[in-house]
Amino acid sequence: MKRYLMTPGPTPVPEKIALAMAAPIIHHRTKEYIDLHEKVREKLKKIFQTQNDIVIFASSGTGAMEASVSNILSENDKALVVEAGKFGERFSQLVSSFGAQAIILKKEYGDFANAQEIEDYVKKYSPKAVYMQACETSTGVFHPIDEIGKMLKEKYPEVVFVVDGITAVGCIDIKTDEWGIDILLTGSQKAFMLPPGLAMLSISEKAKKIAAQNKNKRYYFDILGELNAQTGHFTPAVTLVLGLNAAVDMMLEEGLGNVFKRHEFLAKAVKAAILAMDLELFAKRPSNSLTAVKAPQSIDSKQIIDIMNKFGVSISNGQGSMKGKIFRIAHLGYFYPPDVILTIGTLEIALKKLGIDKLGVGTKKALEIFVEY
């Protein structure tokens, strides 16, 4: 059966990138690879919209999350962590794992943190760093990191601002330097259209100075060590870096503005289709990278997912306490309008089989949006 991957990671891999990764392997200590590695890091600065250094780890995105904690926080340091879903909770666990104190700003799943709340907590607790997601993948929420970053930059410039952009970098316009983001991190299997296995982050000069003074133990995820080694202390994921080079070229060839606009239209079409079908969006501030939808009453979201799978279309269940209550449709990376039309149509079939007749309703609405695109 032909498969359509509409999950928020891994996402589809374009043929051009797959072919780049099919090239003969090269040794990572040769000039050929060293030049490639440096070229990719420079290109990534354009995607991250930063002048800061870029580090590439052979790991999942969680490796970059761990690096952002172990390199910045020493034992007993205080860090403000926004918990609004599974991945905010992961930051809290990482902070605690390295002996630091996690000051938790808790939001309900589906909700977001605003700049005033962050400022209130920073005033009260004086944390060394703020950790949060740009997009909370488990809920589809996009936090106002622009407002939060600008506030911290202006009023609390000593605080390190760390943003998990795993489901945001490369599909949403994030102005790293302008917004004062000291560490922005992401993974390969999202908007970068690669298989899992690479984690990337940008680090500011301020954060580098703090990392140099930090007393916490780290070995593999040593940011300054990686920067000093240029191509890495350890064997890099050469094949994935070849693919990353092709991926970044694709994004820059399309033009960042066009990439962001495409994702905006994809998100707009999915959300409009969902509302036209009398379904309810879960996120109070929805992201352009994925859409979380409340399952209709008396229906487990897994039922919808299972039926769609039979038609070859894969979407994602909720996570944590939202499992069975929501489903998530991705539209980040190698996605275009026909992918959305197909997915919405298959969702309509699944709902029909579960007793809710919305055939053609959401599809028509999405088509109307794409006429504008």
pLDDT, tens digit, 9 for 90 and up, residues 181-208: 999 999 999 999 999 999 999 999 999 9
pLDDT of residue 230: 64
Domain hosting 295: range is 4-8+255-372
Query: What pLDDT does 133 receive?
Result: 98
- Domain end, chosen from 224, 254, 284, is at 254
Distance CA 254, CA 248 (A): 10
Q: Which of 236, 254, 272 is the last residue of a domain?
A: 254
Q: Is the pLDDT of residue 348 over 80?
A: yes
Q: What is the pLDDT of residues 129-183, one digit of tens each?
A: 999 999 999 999 999 999 999 999 999 999 999 999 999 999 999 999 999 999 9
Count structural domains, the chain: 2
For 311-320, write each residue's pLDDT tens digit. Answer: 999 999 999 8
Q: Over range 114-130, report the average pLDDT.
A: 98
Q: What are phi and psi of 256, to 5 degrees?
A: -55, -40
Enumerate the known binding-site residues.
Answer: 328
pLDDT score of 180: 98
* The predicted structure's pLDDT at residue 42: 97
Q: What integer pLDDT is reported at residue 83 of this predicted model? A: 98
372 falls in which pLDDT band (50, 70, 90)? confident
Q: Could you report the per-residue pLDDT of 38-61, keeping only the tens digit for each?
A: 999 999 999 999 999 999 999 999
DSSP 28-55: TTSHHHHHHHHHHHHHHHHHHT-SSEEE
Cα-to-chain-centroid distance, residue 292: 15
Q: Assign 273 a pLDDT band (cuts: 50, 70, 90).
A: very high
Q: Write down how long the chain is.
A: 373
Which distant-in-sequence residues (6+ apart) come within 8 Å of 27 by Cβ? 33
Of 196, 223, 254, the last residue of a domain is: 254
User: Does pTM top 0.95 for this prediction?
Assistant: yes
Q: Which CATH number characterizes residue 274's domain?
A: 3.90.1150.10
Residues making up the annotated binding site for substrate are 328
* Same domain, residue pair 242 and 261: no
pLDDT tens readout for residues 228-265: 886 667 899 999 999 999 999 999 999 999 999 999 99
- Same domain assignment for residues 107 and 130: yes
